[in-house]
Copies of this chain bind each other. A is one copy, B any other.
């Protein structure tokens, strides 16, 4: 996989934009566009939740958006008409990353308000990652080399964000589909850079550390060994990566994608690992779309180690489709949200069998 070419730009409202491609490309003839030239004072703040012992982030300015785009307008498409600028220029770029216009975490956060609970500036970053120029080409439908480029870009952004002072954890994720609340259907992901290790990552780091101390390797490294030996839930096994329905799935068609050897973060993958990981990811996403022959909504999170490393951590993506069957969604309700104990009607072995039966090999050429 060739190294990516990139070009850093600055929008007129001050936000950063970086374009990426696998081949050299020309800088856009016009300045980096923005749907509005108004400079937003992105000043989110954190409040401490004293019962759950966790932070919540507030960005009230999001309610006061002055720019209300028409419903059919796509701000993630390249700008075609300079009179109606989008977030992105025309040109030969393949992947683009820019600062979210209304972030819930921001580098410039300052002067958190006084409250009856502790508060702090919500320092961090919220970036948008546009996977391609075609609004109809889903991540899973892209050529393998393009998926590899997306993984490479996510890794580069993670490396840069994690190196900023005060960043404790970086989460690349994709929300796909109206069922999970997405309003912009142009294929894109997001990256959140947090000033604290959020609850889920903190718990995973503590569990991995404990497991590594006892067993000399992390819990996912162990689980992958067992999934490979068992084979009942495997969807893809390559030389360096795999995709599987985990034995402990919390969503009916949950899939995990990971390198076989433990790697802490996306930016630590070598080219061969990244290439095979792209194939594992494409296999997973194509199987979900082909299962019922329609675009599958999902939430995909890339779990990399907190900044500074975490013993026993093993990079992977968890993909959570909200469907429990073709026509029914799994809603998170009482036991999941209030107790945190997930209840499943489907056995992972049955879901894996259904996904194994979906042949996507012809699309992986």
Which of A's residues lie within 8 Å of B, judged by CB? 47-60, 62-63, 104, 115-117, 169, 171, 173-175, 180-182, 190, 192, 194, 196, 198-201, 203-204, 206-208, 211, 219-220, 222-223, 226-227, 229-230, 247-250, 299, 301, 303, 318, 320, 329-335, 337-347, 350
Contact = CB atoms under 8 A, between A and B. Distances in A.
B50 A301 contact: no
A interface majority secondary structure: mixed
Contact of A50 (B182, B211, B341): B211
Nearest to A115: B247
A46 to B, nearest CB: 9
B207 A47 contact: no
B208 A51 contact: yes
B190 A340 contact: no
Contact of A320 (B47, B201, B331, B337): B337
A127 to B, nearest CB: 12
Nearest to A60: B347
A343 B248 contact: no
Given A173-B334, A339-B201, A344 B57 contact: yes
A207 B49 CA distance: 10
Given A63-B345, A194-B339, 5 more contacts: A50-B220, A51-B208, A52-B204, A53-B204, A171-B339
Contacts of A346: 60, 63
Contacts of A248: 47-51, 56, 117
A190 B338 CA distance: 12
